[in-house]
Chains A and B, each alone.
Chain A
Amino acid sequence: MAKNWWKIACVLILLYVIIGGFSVKVPSIGNNQQAARSIFFHLPMWMCMYTLLAISVVNSVWYLATNDLRRDIRASSAGSIGVLFGMMGFATGMLWSTYTWGGTIVNDPKQMTTAIALTIYMAYLVLRLSFTDLDKRARVSAIFNVFAFALLIPLTYIIPRMVESLHPGSATSPGFSSQDTAGTIKMVLWPAFLGWTLLGIWIYTLRNRYKRLVLKNILHG
């Protein structure tokens, strides 16, 4: 139990986020209306994805330095759960944009570059399936993962900030600085980042432990 305190914290934070996300007063701006509440669930998906994919690339580099297969298992588990959260973020964004921007996939640069980045990561997962030799798979996919992460940050974080976009935080729209966001939203949004990220890490550790059990004989033999 002592080691699991963060899982309990994660559940309590997320219960606060779900209840608070529906209860707090949000400013009704433009055609966003009450759909503004989506931010408590849509944005944390991306924060969770960034965290997991960062864990993945760190473990990939660590594998290349040590040739320890357990590092490769960590990298692949974090990568697949990161893609899962990315796809959930994309799906929630599609629903949100349908009723506020007037289209499921619109000409928004952030939406497009994110789709590209997610496709690159799906290619990483497919690449892993194409090997039979464990060491070769680990080495090649670790190198691919480094390139994928090196593309993820400019594609989803830097380019959308330099061009015009419907998303907040682009060249022409305000971001989430202290003057722009209502206090009630921030009260729920910061815990939401933490809570959803912890949930993602929890699922990642479960997958990692399962994969280690599957490869138990190879790892200890």
Chain B
Amino acid sequence: MVKRLSYLLFACFMLSLTSVFGQDTARTVTEAVQQQNTETGPVNEFFRSNAKIYVPMGILVIIFIAIVLYLVRLDRRLTKLEKE
């Protein structure tokens, strides 16, 4: 009984949390859309130049580096297994 009640309370707590955070994120998103990132500096200006084409380029570089790191780790593990 106590267990069930605590589950119910926990569920209510989580639900209230989502509504609170839901409102907050919604507001943050609208605010973010309204006020664009206007920070200056060479890096920011580079990524904003040429209709922001360098943003997807950076995304591809990140994905590629992650895949390569995974391959390197797999390679090392195989080498270790082969030596056994």
Contact B57 A18 (CB under 8 A): yes
A18 CB → nearest B CB, Å: 5
A206 in complex: contacting residue of B57, B61, B74, CB < 8 Å: B74
In this complex, how many residues of chain A approach chain B with their Cβ under 8 Å: the count is: 17
Evaluate contact between A206 and B78: CB separation under 8 angstroms.
yes
Pair A15/B57 contact, Cβ less than 8 Å: no
A19–B61 CB distance below 8 A: yes
**What per-residue 1/0 map shows which CB atoms of A172-215 lie under 8 Å from chain B?**
00000000000000000000000000000011001001100100
Q: How far is the CA of A15 from the CA of B64 in the complex (A)?
A: 8
Question: Is A101 part of the binding interface, using a Cβ–Cβ cutoff of 8 Å?
Answer: no
The verdict on A6 contacting chain B, using a C-beta distance below 8 Å, is: no
Q: Which residues of chain A are near B78, meaning CB under 8 Å?
A: 206, 209-210, 213
In the assembled complex, which residues on chain B have CB atoms less than 8 Å from the CB atom of A210? Answer: 78
Evaluate contact between B64 and A22: CB separation under 8 angstroms. no
Chain A positions 1-24 with a Cβ under 8 Å from a chain B Cβ: 4, 7, 11, 14-15, 18-19, 21-23
- Chain B minimum-CB-distance residue to A20: B57
Which of A18, A34, A206 neighbours the largest number of chain B CB atoms within 10 Å of its CB?
Answer: A18
Q: Is the interface of B mostly helix, strand, loop or mixed?
A: helix
Q: Give CA–CA (A18, B59) in the complex, Å.
A: 10
Q: Chain B's nearest CB lies how many Å from the CB of A216? A: 9
Which chain B residues numbered 30 to 72 have a C-beta less than 8 Å away from chain A? 53-54, 56-57, 60-61, 64, 68, 71-72
Inside 8 A of A4's CB, which chain B residues have their CB? 75
The answer to whether A213 touches B57 (Cβ under 8 A) is: no
Please state if A209 and B82 are interface contacts (CB–CB under 8 Å): yes
| Docked-complex contact A18 and B82, CB < 8 angstroms | no
The answer to whether B82 and A213 have CB atoms under 8 Å apart is yes
For the complex, give the distance between the alpha carbons of A18 and B57 in Å: 7
User: Does B75 lie within 8 Å of A206, measured CB to CB?
Assistant: yes
Contact B56 A22 (CB under 8 A): yes
Q: Is residue B81 within 8 Å, beta carbon to beta carbon, of the partner chain? A: yes
A-B contacts besides A22-B54, A209-B82, 15 pairs, CB < 8 Å: A7-B75, A18-B64, A19-B61, A22-B53, A22-B57, A22-B60, A23-B54, A23-B57, A34-B53, A202-B75, A206-B71, A206-B75, A206-B78, A210-B78, A213-B81
A-B complex: 10 closest residue pairs judged by Cβ atoms: A22-B57, A209-B78, A18-B60, A11-B68, A18-B61, A206-B74, A213-B81, A22-B53, A18-B64, A206-B75
Interface residues of A (CB under 8 A from B): 4, 7, 11, 14-15, 18-19, 21-23, 34, 202-203, 206, 209-210, 213
A/B interface sample: 22 pairs, CB < 8 A: A7-B75, A14-B64, A15-B61, A15-B64, A18-B60, A18-B61, A18-B64, A19-B61, A21-B57, A22-B53, A22-B56, A22-B57, A22-B60, A23-B57, A202-B75, A203-B71, A206-B75, A206-B78, A209-B78, A213-B78, A213-B81, A213-B82
